[in-house]
């Protein structure tokens, strides 16, 4: 997996990482929930975007200066130049739920430009979990950055090698642990876990997907699966 370094800090823009990784704390701010659309509750759900429409019960938001982004090409995507979108929905997690998982297929491409994709799971109080993956924007580099926020603390990990390709990502939240993995070409390139203290699966009431691209190949997420289990 070739992990190089790990820095743990409070939410905010980490030092020494690409601009696209900054200002993560805004994703968990209470206003993001208070101003979101009132959407229908859901249990297990699968989004394949094959009809090129925003799924029922989900809300698409574009940054004010965003380039091309949204649901199209049978996926949730952000394109050049400077595409940036989120797709969010309320989430009804049954009391006592022991495990909540979010899995999806997405691309990682080192093209010398900044881009990322992420999942945010939020509670009504504005706390929650953010997981963001971003290839290095340094020309010629194959490194990647994984940013994780939970329990009001952020951690940025730099990996020396993330192969380009289509990844299968899997985020698993249990009563006391967060685990995130990414597989490409049949092997596990990302494997991360940390203890959870204050965020429990049945406290999570909102899910948000995010993609951002500056220049280069579209950044996209597809085949999104959200499941809860006892």
- Residue 117 half-sphere exposure, CB side, CA atoms within 13 Å? 26
| Fold category of 3-229 in CATH | Jelly Rolls (2.60.120)
183 close to 222: Cβ distance less than 8 angstroms:
no
pLDDT class for 216, splitting at 50, 70, 90? Answer: confident
The pLDDT of residue 65: 85
Q: Is the pTM of this model over 0.85?
A: no
3-state DSSP assignment of residue 26 = helix
The pLDDT of residue 43: 64
The pLDDT of residue 111: 87
Is a pLDDT exceeding 90 seen at residue 170? yes
Closest CA to 214 of 106, 121, 80, 30: 80
Please tell me the distance from the alpha carbon of residue 34 to that of residue 136, in angstroms, as a whole number: 34
More confidently predicted of 62 and 4: 62
- Residue 15 half-sphere exposure, CB side, CA atoms within 13 Å? 4
Please tell me the distance from the alpha carbon of residue 191 to that of residue 214, in angstroms, as a whole number: 27
Helices (H) and strands (E) in the chain, counts: 1, 16
């Amino acid at each position: 997996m070739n992990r190089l370094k790990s820095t743990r800090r409070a939410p905010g823009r980490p030092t020494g990482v690409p601009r696209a990784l900054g200002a993560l704390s805004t994703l968990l701010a209470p206003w993001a929930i208070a101003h979101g659309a009132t959407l229908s509750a859901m249990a297990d759900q699968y989004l394949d975007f094959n009809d090129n429409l925003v799924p029922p019960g989900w809300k698409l938001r574009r940054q004010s200066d965003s380039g091309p982004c949204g649901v199209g090409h049978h996926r949730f995507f952000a394109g050049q130049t400077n595409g940036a979108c989120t797709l969010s929905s309320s989430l009804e997690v049954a009391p006592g739920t022991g495990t909540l998982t979010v899995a999806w297929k997405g691309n990682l491409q080192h093209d010398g430009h900044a881009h990322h994709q992420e999942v945010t799971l939020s509670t009504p109080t504005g706390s929650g979990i953010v997981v963001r993956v971003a290839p290095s924007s340094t020309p010629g580099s194959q490194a990647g950055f994984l940013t994780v926020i939970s329990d009001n603390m952020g951690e940025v990990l730099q990996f020396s090698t993330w192969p380009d390709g289509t990844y299968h990502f899997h985020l698993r939240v249990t009563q006391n642990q967060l685990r995130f993995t990414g597989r490409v070409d049949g092997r596990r390139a990302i494997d991360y876990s940390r203890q959870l203290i204050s965020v429990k699966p049945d406290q999570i009431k909102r899910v948000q997907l995010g993609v951002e691209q500056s220049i280069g190949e579209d950044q996209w997420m597809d085949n999104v699966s959200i499941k809860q289990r006892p």
